[in-house]
Chains A and B, each alone.
Chain A
Amino acid sequence: MSTFVYMTRCDGCGHCVDICPSDIMHIDENIRRAKNIEPNFCWECYSCVKACPNHAIDVRGYADFAPMGHSVRVRREEEKGTISWKIKFRNGTTKDFVSPITTKPWGKFIPKLADGDKPNQGEINSQRLYTEPEGLNIDGELPVVPKDSFKKGVYY
């Protein structure tokens, strides 16, 4: 599958160009609309479909194996905190899925590391990662085993 753009809906804002992990959504220099310059390299990740404010991008199967009018559409609504998928099969049945995209206000519960206490040299030399050992929610310390208790090499 690969993405394509409805030219009447696209206003050339470039959100899809910004988000595409494969760098294949580009703005056409003549008509100032987005286009997929290399459909074979599309990851089908739907990142641009979710990012498009005008819902101008859709994804279709290649004509040789998906010619019969199926569709997989998605709408990511940050203000509602949901993502909704509509799957339409070629025999006409549809399936709808709605899932939450976050449980907390965006980014508010991610600690500002610069405001916290600096780790001391003892902590830096320890085997702990950030938030450990408290973040493990277990009584006691990070589990440790002596390194020589592991087997050496590979069993045959």
Chain B
Amino acid sequence: MAKHKTHYEDCDVLVVGGGMAGTGATFEARHWGRDMKIICVEKANIDRSGAVAQGLYAINCYMGMQWGENQPEDHVRYARNDLMGMVREDLGYDMARHVDSTVHMFDEWGLPMMKNEETGRYLREGKWQIMIHGESYKPIVAEAAKTGVLDRSNLLLMKK
């Protein structure tokens, strides 16, 4: 430990951890704060870090509002029932109403989604889950944090 040097950096937004949430938040933060200095700190390589490091072959929450499959209210009702009322409904609603646009972004960026060839709908393996080929799930979102954002000199992705 004696060999470790401490680096001091000032910033406007500090994202702690570069997993799925951290890299996504870094990308989103850059969209809203174009001139801000955003730092995402991560102990490992963001291409393979966090719980999705090894790939994940499902997206476990997708409303399908565009096809009328589920509405955010339905998800709040499901979560409330599943957790026997121990749930922040406002947070659940907020997550549910934003999840579709996020999934559509992954589709646009090149994440292989399994689709019904006739209807074009995402194939489901449950009421909320959709099926993907998720080997590159994390690298694709990490790429967004890097290419969408790193072209700005005022963003740092720190490693180890």
Q: Name A residues whose Cβ lies closer than 8 Å to a Cβ of B.
A: 18-23, 43-47, 51, 76, 83, 99-114, 116, 118-119, 124, 129-133, 135-138, 142-143, 145, 147, 150-151, 154-156
Contacts and interface: CB of A to CB of B under 8 A. Distances in A.
B86 A107 contact: no
Given A110-B143, A143-B71, 8 more contacts: A47-B53, A108-B110, A112-B151, A114-B34, A118-B34, A130-B28, A136-B65, A147-B90
A114 B43 CA distance: 26
Contact of A21 (B45, B66, B86, B147): B45
Given A118-B34, A135-B101, A129 B28 contact: yes
10 contacts: A21-B50, A22-B44, A103-B112, A110-B148, A129-B101, A135-B104, A137-B65, A145-B93, A147-B90, A155-B85
Interface in B19-41: 27-28, 30-32, 34
B159 to A, nearest CB: 9
Which secondary structure dominates chain B's binding surface? helix
A106 B143 contact: yes
Interface size class of chain B, counting residues whose CB lies under 8 Å from the partner chain: 35 or more
B133 A109 contact: no
A131 B108 CA distance: 11
Contacts of A138: 65-66, 100
Contacts of B34: 113-114, 118-119
Given A43-B54, A103-B110, A131-B105, A113 B98 contact: no
Given A150-B89, A150-B90, A45 B98 contact: no
Contacts of A76: 135
A143 B47 CA distance: 33
A96 B66 CA distance: 36
Contacts of A130: 27-28, 31-32, 101, 105
Contact of B152 (A18, A114, A145): A114
A45 B147 contact: no
Interface string B118-148: 0000000000000001011000100110011
Given A21-B53, A102-B136, A110 B144 contact: yes
Nearest to B85: A155
Contacts of B78: none
Contact of A101 (B49, B54, B112, B147): B112
